[in-house]
Amino acid sequence: MEQTQLAVRRSREADLEAFETFVAGLSVETSTRRFFTPTTRLPRKSARLLLANDRKRGAFLAVSGSRVMAHACWVAVGPEAGELAVVVADDAQRRGLGRRLMRTLLRDMCDAGLARMEMVVQPDNRAVIDLIVRTWPEARPRLEDGLFTFVTATARDAAVAA
């Protein structure tokens, strides 16, 4: 699938069923990497929260027609910091979509006044770790509870570089 066929847009409440279908279609490996547990179904309250947009969170979808191809979100974890997460459908991975969504999230976080972004990654998730290291070489991981947490600035130039 060509990236140009995809639209990246802010999520809305009406996307709930399509988002749930997207999550149900993720492989065990992909759902485990994103949610830190294998899942094909999120509690509806959690799914709604992952699609919510307000002063303390932002969520975006990459869609092809009515099909959700990827989801990205951030949530404030402090007065100046936000944690971001991205998940891409298995058949759309390694085509630049995750990077495109990270740029979108960083711009949105900058607009929300957040100065730092954090990403929590499993140590064996080479694809995401390599993306972070290539994009933000200054980000250094710290190991917490068996997971890496990367922290870097959300400055406009970092959002453009993503």
Give the separation between CA 93 and CA 149, rounded to whole angstroms. Answer: 22
Structural domain tally of the chain?
Answer: 1
The token duo for 32 is 């485990």
Backbone angles phi, psi at 63, to 5 degrees: -125, 150
3-state secondary structure of 153: strand
Please report, in tens digits, the pLDDT of each residue of the chain (162 residues total).
444 478 999 999 999 999 999 999 999 999 999 998 888 889 999 999 999 999 999 999 999 999 999 999 999 999 899 999 999 999 999 888 988 999 899 999 999 999 999 999 999 999 889 888 888 888 889 999 999 999 988 765 554 554
pTM of the prediction? 0.89
CATH number of the domain bearing residue 105? 3.40.630.30
Domain containing 131 equals 3-161
In the sheet where 67-76 sits, what is the strand order? 7-10, 57-64, 67-76, 81-88, 116-121, 147-153, 140-144
Q: Which amino acid is at 118?
A: E
Tokens of 83: 């944690």
Of 90, 80, 106, 121, the C-alpha closest to 23 is 90
Question: If DSSP codes are grouped into helix, strand and coil, which group holds residue 67?
Answer: strand
Q: How far apart are CA 105 and CA 147, in angstroms?
A: 22
Q: Token digits for 160?
A: 């453009």
DSSP secondary structure code for residue 124 in this structure: T
